[in-house]
Amino acid sequence: MEFLIALMVGALVAAAVYLMLARNVLRFLFGLILISNAANLLIFASGGLTPEAPPLIAYGADAPPPGVANALPQALVLTAIVIGFGLFAFALVLVYRAYQTMGTLDSDDMRLAEPEEKP
Amino acid sequence: MSDVLLPLPILIAFVTAILAFFFRKGTEARWISVAGSACMLVAAGMLLSRVLTDGIQAAQMGTWAAPFGITLVADTLSAVMVVITGITALAVSIYAVGDVTEDMEHVGYHTLFQVLIAGVTGAFLTGDLFNLYVWFEVMLIASFGLLVMGGRRVQMDAGIKYVTLNLISTILFLSGIGLLYGVTGTLNMADLHYKVQDADPGLVTVIATMFLVGFGIKSAVFPLFFWLPAAYHTPAFSVSAVFAGLLTKVGVYAMMRMFTLVFTQDIGWTHGLMLWVAVATMITGVLGAAAQTDFRRILSFHIVSQIGYMVLGLALYTPLAVTGAVFYLVHHIIVKANLFLVAGVTNRIAGSTEIDHIGGLYKGAPLLAFLFLIPAFSLAGFPPLSGFWAKYVLVKASLDLELWLVAAAALAVGLMTIYSMTKIWGRAFWKPHPGAIVPSLSTLPAGDRFAMLAPIAGLATLTVIIGLFPEPFVGIATRAAEDLLDPTAYLTAVLGAPEAVQ
């Protein structure tokens, strides 16, 4: 199970890096979304995967029975997903506004803030 | 008592943000922001005095004992950083009264500003790694909003670079946290200190390098700094002042915390790498500044160069060097924020920040010229200003280790800094204005003039005080360095006596 997830993280990172090397900012952003999901999966897997054993505490008991899934990474991933969602929503709107105001998505043409030096 | 005192600065900033949001359509929001920053500074001062008298303070949120709950910790470094955050917040919120336009206020400038301050303060006070990530995000999202507020084309361009590169840094940091949790099974920084020692050292070093890159992007070190000079000269002046003062320094702080408390098992590699990164950062930053002709872009490149000094102090890893790094951190925040504020006044009265398009400021506004000289010379390291002592301690620390090349680089970069400052002085202040006007402070409305000049004068006074009476400040920095290099007190404050933990 961990092996499969590890493979998936690897594939996601590879695809993300490929996308992020593009000059088109939108492709870059898609790459960013992929790599952020890869990071979420990585956290999920790093807690150790124990299928079919939810961390539920029986009524009246103080602790769950041994061998249940670790709930902490799930909580972490949940937080990271929510934060990531907000950030990407913002980033998408920003890219759209940038396209509207500058008329391009090619990062090579985005030289307003850093104008090219005149010789 | 410390259960209340520790979260108080964060809470004040959040409450101020909420209040400012409700009153954003009127002029009340700006005064709420000023009052909130003042209260936060008072709370931070109380926290610092408490840390200085009673030692390191720790509070467990929700009374969940460490390492299971989220811990807030204030050691000397954290407390000092919170106080400096308060000072910067107060100065910038007063300045904003004169600088920020009503359009920006109506869309919630003051709210985002206070959220940013809350995020920065939280990052300084937390003792939990994942919580640090959350504070970074709070800070980031507020800074995104502030950066593009106003919506000029150039801000969109800068925003794209700032947002994307900072998101990469965040993801690296998050992956590092995930891997570290997988290896050690804890996220509490004090607990990590113990657990990391039992882990596979090779694996920990890989994770440490990941953190180094993540924090490196945040703190804009060589070769990861490109987002900073691309972005910091575009937003409103009060925004760029608070960015310049605080944001990169949170990255440096996180680096100092993690690489003294947790990742100390392979100092030869991590801190050795940091040393050369620091030297390269100092040199590239100052050379980049030499090629620029915009007031704020010159200053932006100087942030990069100055970050090099702080990382250098951490990389040398001796008590004196870390003292120097802490002192530099404090000095730099005050001076850098102040220089950006001066740039804002320059823009208002002379019409531009492009130094070839302005001039005559010395003739028309001698007071502003004087207030520029203090932080500018302090930045370059002139005695008797604060920058001199900061550089002196760091150069002495590198000479003590017989790192001649590093010391020479630190001194040469100081010299190059003077070159940049005299370039601004010569072209913006001394030469006549190309439009044949004499810019004068009297063109500003009286209220704006006071709101903009008072914080500049206040921060400049602070620079002079630190320069003339460095003794108590170096004393506090020394204590901060002792806390960092010998974490026993920190660990005891968070987890209890070391024997009980082992």
ipTM of this complex: 0.92
Nearest-CB residue to A91 (from B154, B163, B183)? B163
Q: How confident is the model at residue B79 (pLDDT cuts 50, 70, 90)?
A: very high
The interface residues of chain B toward chain A in range 176-235, judged by CB-CB distance below 8 A, are 177-179, 181-183, 229-231, 233-234
pLDDT for B439-477, tens place per residue? 888 888 888 888 999 999 999 999 999 999 989 999 999
Sign for the CA dihedral angle at B195, B201, B202, B204 comes to positive
* Beta-carbon count within 10 A of B192 CB: 25
Tell me what the mean pLDDT of segment B118-131 comes to: 94
CA-based nearest residue in chain A for residue B152 = A101
Whether the CB of B333 is below 8 Å from some CB of chain A: the reply is no
Residues of A in Cβ contact (< 8 Å) with B151: 97, 101
List residues bridging with B294 in a β-sheet: B354
pLDDT for B383-440, tens place per residue? 888 889 999 999 999 999 988 999 999 999 999 999 989 888 988 888 888 887 888 8
**How confident is the model at residue B480, as a pLDDT?**
92
Phi and psi dihedrals of B27, rounded to 5? -90, 0
Q: A87 vs B140: CB contact, 8 Å cut-off?
A: yes
**How confident is the model at residue B101, as a pLDDT?**
85
Give the Å distances, CA to CA, from B25 to A116, B16, B19, B111, B143: 40, 15, 12, 12, 21
Q: Which of B134, B174, B293 to mutate to test the interface with A (most CBs of A within 10 A)?
A: B174
**In terms of Cα–Cα distance, which of B378, B373, B237, B215 is closest to B300?**
B237
Nearest-CB residue to B160 (from A36, A86, A95)? A95
Q: How confident is the model at residue A118 (pLDDT cuts 50, 70, 90)?
A: low
Q: A29 vs B158: CB contact, 8 Å cut-off?
A: no
Residue A115 lies in a domain: no
**How confident is the model at residue B499, as a pLDDT?**
61
The enclosing domain of A12 has a CATH number of 1.10.287
**How confident is the model at residue B43, as a pLDDT?**
94
Choice among A14-28, A53-67, B10-24 with the minimum mean pLDDT: A53-67
pLDDT for B333-342, tens place per residue? 999 999 999 9
Give the Å distances, CA to CA, from A87 to A32, A90, A91, B157: 11, 5, 6, 17
**In terms of Cα–Cα distance, which of A95, A85, A92, A73 is closest to A2?**
A73
Q: How confident is the model at residue B65 (pLDDT cuts 50, 70, 90)?
A: confident
pLDDT for A41-75, tens place per residue? 999 888 778 877 787 888 888 888 877 888 888 88
Tell which phi-psi region holds residue B28, choosing left (phi > 0), alpha (psi between -120 and 50) or beta: alpha
Q: Is B80 helix (H, G, I), strand (E, B) or coil?
A: helix
Closest approach of B155 to chain A, Cα-based (Å): 7
Residues of A in Cβ contact (< 8 Å) with B130: 76, 79
The residue behind tokens 């924020």 is B337
Tell me what the mean pLDDT of segment A93-116 comes to: 84
**How confident is the model at residue B151, as a pLDDT?**
80
By residue range, what is the domain housing residue A38? 2-49+70-104
Closest approach of A57 to chain B, Cα-based (Å): 17
- Of chain B, the percentage scoring pLDDT greater than 90 comes to 59
Tell me what the mean pLDDT of segment A22-39 comes to: 92
- Write the CB contacts of B432 (distance below 8 Å, at least 6 apart in sequence): B359, B360, B363
Residue A91 lies in a domain: yes
Nearest-CB residue to B231 (from A29, A102, A113)? A113
Q: How confident is the model at residue B500 (pLDDT cuts 50, 70, 90)?
A: low
Q: B230 vs A114: CB contact, 8 Å cut-off?
A: yes
Packing angle between helix B366-380 and helix B446-468, nearest 10 degrees? 30
Residues of A in Cβ contact (< 8 Å) with B153: 101-102, 112
| pLDDT higher than threshold 60 for residue B244 | yes
Domain ranges of chain B: 267-487
Residue A85 lies in a domain: yes
The residue behind tokens 């043409």 is A109
Tell which phi-psi region holds residue B58, choosing left (phi > 0), alpha (psi between -120 and 50) or beta: beta
Closest approach of A39 to chain B, Cα-based (Å): 5
In total, how many domains does chain A have? 1
Distance (Å, whole) CA B495 – CA B65: 8
Whether the CB of B465 is below 8 Å from some CB of chain A: the reply is no
Q: B182 vs A36: CB contact, 8 Å cut-off?
A: no
Q: B174 vs A28: CB contact, 8 Å cut-off?
A: no
- Of chain A, the percentage scoring pLDDT greater than 70 comes to 97
| pLDDT higher than threshold 80 for residue B84 | yes
Residue A117 lies in a domain: no
Closest approach of B150 to chain A, Cα-based (Å): 12
**How confident is the model at residue A53, as a pLDDT?**
79
| pLDDT higher than threshold 70 for residue B2 | no
Q: How confident is the model at residue A29 (pLDDT cuts 50, 70, 90)?
A: very high
The three-point CA angle B219-B225-B227 to 5° equals 105
Q: Which of B135, B143, B160, B165 to mutate to test the interface with A (most CBs of A within 10 A)?
A: B160
Q: Taking a C-beta distance cutoff of 8 angstroms, is the pair B453, B367 a contact? A: yes
- Of residues B67 and B339, more confidently modeled: B339
| pLDDT higher than threshold 70 for residue B133 | yes
**How confident is the model at residue B252, as a pLDDT?**
94
Q: Which of B146, B163, B200 to mutate to test the interface with A (most CBs of A within 10 A)?
A: B163
Q: Is A60 helix (H, G, I), strand (E, B) or coil?
A: coil
Q: A45 vs B182: CB contact, 8 Å cut-off?
A: yes
CA-based nearest residue in chain A for residue B158 = A113
